[in-house]
Amino acid sequence: MPEKMTAGRTEKSSLAKPEKLAAVKGMNDILPPDSARWEWLEDKVRSLMGRYAYRNIRTPILEHTQLFVRGIGEVTDIVEKEMYSFEDRSDKHGDYDHLTMRPENTASLVRAVIEHNLLYDGGKRLFYMGPMFRRERPQRGRYRQFHQIGAEALGFAGPEVDAELILLAAALWKELGLSDWRLEINSLGQPDERALHRAQLIAHFEQHADALDEEAKRRLHSNPLRILDTKNPAMKSVVESAPRLIDFLGPQSLAHFEGLKAILDANSIPWTLNPRLVRGLDYYNLTVFEFVTDRLGAQGTICAGGRYDYLIEQIGGKAAPAVGWALGVERVLELIKEQGAEIALPVPDAYAVIPDASAVPVVLQTLQALRAAGVSVQMHAGANAEGMGSMKSQFKRADGSGAKFALIFGEAELAQGSVAVKPLRGEKAEAAQVQTLQPLGDVAAWASMLRA
């Protein structure tokens, strides 16, 4: 006896049931209908980036580990403990390449900009979207595979570009229906200004050594600025009483900061100064900022950015200024759920009811033409030995699909070269008047009615 086929699978009763496989911890499937919300967000971003003349860049997910060590910094959460790294047998005999799945995209982007000499004819504005990987403790708003959208402007030194990037983000929140955010800004000055602050910062923390946690003690001399970024509530007061970097800035750094603030004010973008907002590495300078919300619990930062005028040189390129931000897609979508506009989930315009399987070849010609004319049509499927299924069950599916119209390809209609179009929803359906006959051969004449 032949094996029984079920939906394309072969069933062998003698086989033991295989163990179920689940996704890797902290890594999520994004399924319909939820995936429509992702597409909606991505479409908004693409359109907005175009209006600000930012162009899309796509870099590989795998890079040499060294890129992130240099581009993010050795004394950071990411490089110390969060990277997915492995050894890949290289093409060269006996050698291994140390590779890492990108934990963020700025280092890769800068690598690509240098490698392809993108700044040869002036500054570049770029944006990216995609998955990033960090081995963190999974929780709400914190995953091991998560997604970022980022915008970066390279080759521009002035505060007008910092402002442009912030205005771009604010415009995005507006288009997404988000108002429950605040913008925190700070200036990190320049390396020489930070050196003065650093000495006093270390002295302050040494005076309060008993208030420091293990991580802070470890970073006291390697990266004291990062201590200000601690998530440990027990260190709140020692961090709040620490000397403020902003008080160590010289006139040029202050002028840059004032320039940014003036543009934000003129554009009615509210901001607050957060003197503890930092990036711990030497190639970050001047402007840093975060968009924060109170609606998402502990993971309240939806977008973070700043200037990194020394990074391009650090990665081996010709020195050039740069500034950018990255937003966390999962967090932004969560915030939209909390307070954003309702997002309409996609439904087909029409559902094709096919009473008799022998009509399928002809029916599909019409469906192809309708789709080419921009109509979204879901075909009834599920033929078996008994045919396409009863009219009752087909209409049930049509209803469930959310389509506004049923296209009924009955024998009588097809014999006249036409199809019956029956409204399923809305006023037209209620008036119950109207099932119309439309010509199969001239789809253009009635396609627009379905799209309406």
Residue 152 in the binding site for ligand ATP (CB under 6 A): no
C-alpha gyration radius of the chain? 29
Residue keyed to tokens 């009635």: 446
Number of chain residues interacting with ligand ATP (CB under 6 A): 18
The residue with tokens 């990036």 is 279
Which residue of 102, 111, 134, 256 would you call a contact of ligand ATP, by CB under 6 A?
134
Stretch that binds ligand ATP, among 85-93, 142-150, 171-179, 377-385 (CB under 6 A): 142-150
Judged by CB under 6 A, the residue of 299, 314, 376, 401 near ligand ATP is 299
Largest CA distance in the chain: 93
Is 328 one of the binding residues for ligand ATP (CB under 6 A)?
A: yes
CB of 310 to ligand ATP, least distance (A): 18
DSSP-assigned letters across all residues of 367-415: HHHHHHTT--EEEP---BTTBS--HHHHHHHHHHHT-SEEEE--HHHHH
Binding of ligand ATP by 304 (CB under 6 A)? yes
Among 143, 173, 181, 248, contact with ligand ATP (rule: CB under 6 A): 143
Taking CB under 6 A as the criterion, the residue among 148, 187, 253, 438 binding ligand ATP is 148
Provide φ and ψ at 377, rounded to 5°: -125, 130
Cβ nearer to ligand ATP, comparing 184 with 349: 184
Alpha carbon distance 272, 386 (integer Å) = 69
Tell me which DSSP letter residue 326 carries: E
Q: How far, CA to CA in Å, does 172 sit from each of 36, 55, 57, 175, 240?
A: 18, 16, 19, 5, 32
Rounded Cα–Cα distance for residues 123 and 157 (Å): 10
Task: Answer yes or no whether residue 184 interacts with ligand ATP by CB under 6 A.
Answer: no
Task: Please say which residue, 296 or 377, places its beta carbon nearer to ligand ATP.
Answer: 296
List C-alpha distances in Å: 182 to 170, 174, 177, 305: 10, 13, 14, 14
User: Within 330-349, which residues bind ligand ATP (CB under 6 A)?
Assistant: 330-331
User: x/- contact string, 307-326, with ligand ATP (CB under 6 A)?
Assistant: -------------------x
Query: Which CA distances in Å does 409 have to 371, 392, 419, 444?
Result: 16, 14, 5, 18
What distance in Å separates the CA atoms of residue 60 and residue 376, rounded to the nearest whole number? 34
Please give the structure tokens belonging to residue 185. 């800004």
- Cα separation, 292 vs 379, whole angstroms: 45
Does position 306 interact with ligand ATP (CB under 6 A)? The reply is no
Q: Which span sits near ligand ATP by CB under 6 A: 60-68, 138-146, 167-175, 235-243?
A: 138-146
| Nearest residue (CB) to ligand ATP, 74 versus 87 | 74
35 or 416: CB nearest ligand ATP:
35
Stretches 181-189, 220-228, 327-335, 339-347: which one binds ligand ATP (CB under 6 A)?
Answer: 327-335
What's the closest the beta carbon of residue 63 comes to ligand ATP, in angstroms?
Answer: 16
Question: CB 323 → ligand ATP: shortest distance, Å?
Answer: 14
For residue 73, is it left (φ>0), alpha (ψ between -120 and 50) or beta? left
**C-beta atoms surrounding 291 within 10 Å:** 24
Dihedral sign computed on CA atoms, order 220, 286, 149, 336: positive
Asked whether position 136 contacts ligand ATP by CB under 6 A, the answer is yes
Shortest gap between Cβ of 344 and ligand ATP (angstroms)?
A: 26
- How many whole angstroms separate alpha carbon 275 and alpha carbon 185? 8
- Residue 146 binds to ligand ATP (criterion: CB under 6 A): yes
For ligand ATP, which is the closer residue by CB, 326 or 363? Answer: 326
Write down the least CB distance from residue 296 to ligand ATP, Å. Answer: 9
Nearer to ligand ATP, 141 or 224 (CB): 141
Task: Give 181 or 409: the residue with its C-beta nearer to ligand ATP.
Answer: 181
Asked if residue 301 binds ligand ATP (CB under 6 A), the reply is yes
232 binds ligand ATP (CB under 6 A): no
Q: Does 142 bind ligand ATP (CB under 6 A)?
A: yes
- Could you list the residues that contact ligand ATP (CB under 6 A)? 104, 134, 136, 141-143, 146, 148, 299, 301-304, 326-328, 330-331
